[in-house]
A and B are shown apart, each in its own frame.
Chain A
Amino acid sequence: MTQTMVILMSGIVGFLAVAALAIALGRSGAATRIVYGASSGISLVLLAVVVARIVNGSPAISFMTLPLGLPWIGAHFRLDALATFFLIVVNLGGAGASLYGLGYGQHETAPHRVLPFYPAFLAGMNLVVLADDAFTFLLSWEFMSLMSWALVMTHHREQNNRRAGYVYLVMASFGTLALLLAFGLLSGADGHYSFEAIRAGVHAPPVAAFVLALMLLGAGSKAGIVPLHVWLPLAHPAAPSHVSALMSGVMTKVAVYGFIRVIFDLLGDPAWWASVIVLLLGGTTAVLGVLYALMQHDLKRLLAYHTVENIGIIFIGLGLALAFNANGMSVAAALALTAALFHVLNHSLFKSLLFFGAGAVLSATGERDMDKLGGLIHRMPYTSFAFLVGCVAISALPPLNGFVSEWLTFQAVLQSPELPQWSLKIIVPAVGGLLALSAALAAACFVKAFGITFLGRPRTPAAQHAQDVDPFSLAAMFTFAALCFAAGVLPGFVIDGLSPVTLSLLAERMPVQANAAWLSIVPIAESRSSYSGLLVFVFIALAASLAAYFIHRFASRALRRGPAWGCGFAEATPMAQYTAGSFAQPIRHVFATLIFCAREEVDMPAPGETRPARFIAYLRDTIWDGLYAPVAVAVSYVADRLNVLQFLTIRRYLSLVFLALVTLLLVLTIWS
């Protein structure tokens, strides 16, 4: 029970205390500042403590047992390399969101519905990462879900938010059920719930297969794997923006942590075919997520669907790691796992940044719909700059961090021809192609998001009169933008920081990056490939400065403003600009005709008619219609049939109880 552990647990208790304080403070004006200030303080302390742990080398694993929960189990907590990394992700996100909340929270119309649950949410996420037995894990998981549900239902008067909360609750319960069954299978008949015992136990292959499937359902639905992603684009936009950032950027990563913990750590060595399922799910999720995102015109829904894509990329990395691990190629497995974990960190950084930006736009204009915005780069210069950095990072463009994790994943794909299994030989190149396709479509998506929202001319008065947001929000955005940049030009440090995690899970690590020249990163060996983010950035900066200098010396400096080219027509209204739907139309025509049954209908009035022309684009969510709607129909059918149980006579009820008792006694007789 080391000092670090004590500090972490007291931090969590601190969060819960702040939550209680928020209830006590009620609707007072200072409550927002106090709660967010305290949360960010505690998050920073926790962050500093775990970062110090990494910087000091890899110390031994810390444990703590508290006499809470079930009396014969207690509550076990453990801090090892994997938990350290995910604690960094959680607390970095938490600190940023709290800083942002200091400014954004002032615009909240119902702060008493947000403030008590927000620190509790942060506490829940920290608890999940630290949990070391099944009971604590599940309890913290449910607590985290419940707190985030309460935050989703903040503005419960709107019909959409109520529906979002309902779907979220159903999916979260389903996920927890799957996790419960998974842990039940892992614990075995004797009920050894602590992770130590599970790790030491031997699991028969059919059990391992079931556990994998259940974990994919449980952790996958929380992370947002297709087809279990449907709650994500409803719930994430409904919550306040800093909470959306936490849900998209951090909570999905906690789900990934759960998956890694069970599959890589507790289950021992999974069979090679597990990687086939994970790879296929990851690839489909990546492409479908970004295609969904391209069809959206609500900024926050676009960002939420895009989270689905990035989770797909993370699972592709995890699938590759599983494949390499099962075939004994540990160095390649370490590369794939590092790529996936690097993407976890990157995504939490840039997705939070983008959600902060969307929240800033929402508080400045009151609009989330991109078709009602435009020209914000002139009115909100700082926000637009930070959002641009986020867009460049998420589109995997050098020299920022998104490119580094994509590059590492591609290098992992290039290691895979050595894999002997035939199905892997076909699937891995296909998944590599899907990954490349999703990266290109992501860039398209963010050209659309930034271009329609921030560039062009304002389409409504709300956009015309927007003001830039308060310093706290800007500080949070710029901090994350700076971190994106730092992770992009100094990726070697991050990779070296991730090496304890891969060592603990796979007993192998990537080569030490600190030795490479020019701070490059070297996945396998210098001769095979290397990339230096710092040099690329320096070269681009030098080339741009050289060009600017040359232009300023030798070219004319004259500049004059004039009207835009209108092809001979008078100044067109801002409504003649491209909208979100029109920008995505070519891509919709090519990709979505099959996947979303996209159809377009144009209704042009004949010459002389005065009615307006109409353009209608039809899209169907095929997964909802194909999977969820029939299930919902079946469930309500069964519920209707079972409704008759509500209206039985007393004699019938008594006979039901009697039958149940007799059945249980029979089962006991036959089994023993």
Chain B
Amino acid sequence: MIYNREFEFYHQKLLGREFEEFVDSLRFKPKSAIRVNTLKAGVERVEKVLYENRIEYARIPWCPEGLWVDLEPSSLVEHQLGFYYIQDAVSMAVSLALDPKPGEEVLDLCAAPGSKTTHLAALMQNEGCLLANEQDYRRIRALVYNIQRCGVSNAVITRQDGVKFDQFGVKFDKILLDVPCSDVGRAMSSRDVIRDWSKGKVIRLSALQKRLAVAAYNCLKEEGVLVYSTCTTSIEENEQVVEHILDSCKNARLERIKLSGLQSKKGLTDKTFDCLRILPHYNNTGGYFIAKIRKCAPFKNK
């Protein structure tokens, strides 16, 4: 593993006794996983494909459509036909935490490449409206490809700066905000993550994340729900962003996330206790942070 003293010092302080186990987990790639795209196939159907191709599989406890696999089945016809999506098992928890329903209006503010967008569409059964926004034109191509491949027909794609998205005045029942981050939870897949990590970068990203989070919150309808997520570890990109929403946005309330079978820890501050902190060694996945915030109806005097 690449040595970065600043990274090591920061995480030793953040994780304490857990640090050694955490660093050790970054040496190994997370267990491969796929999510069955229920818009096109059932879980049993995909299990049959895996069996016929001698790929070992097991169900992922927190995601009914998720399967652990010992080999990523990327070259099968069923993959190109969109029967399943190769996706880190922990990121499946994000869409499940948002829990979109058919008929709702849902925004995925930083959508590319589309793993969570397509999961949301499947949960919505292609009903309602799913607005997938991505600012980077090159990343939109991947988003379009995955939306098409998965047979998503209730989505529209926009290319706007997420920070300014609230200026349009369009409101949503549910919003997923999976922000750009320092990616430490994916360090096992890319050596650059640790090499390029610095406290300065974290601070810069945190500032952007706070602006995105406030813009997203402003796009919620009354009683709407925002799920904020990152695939990183720093308190500045996680708990501090959630605290920023709770402190600066009217009627924001943090809610508990219920996902059985997913090993996680609580947020690191009193106010963010109901967030999920998932380090790679908890579930043999990437690392993630998930928070669920409701925009409560304002209290009305009778």
Binding between chains A and B? no
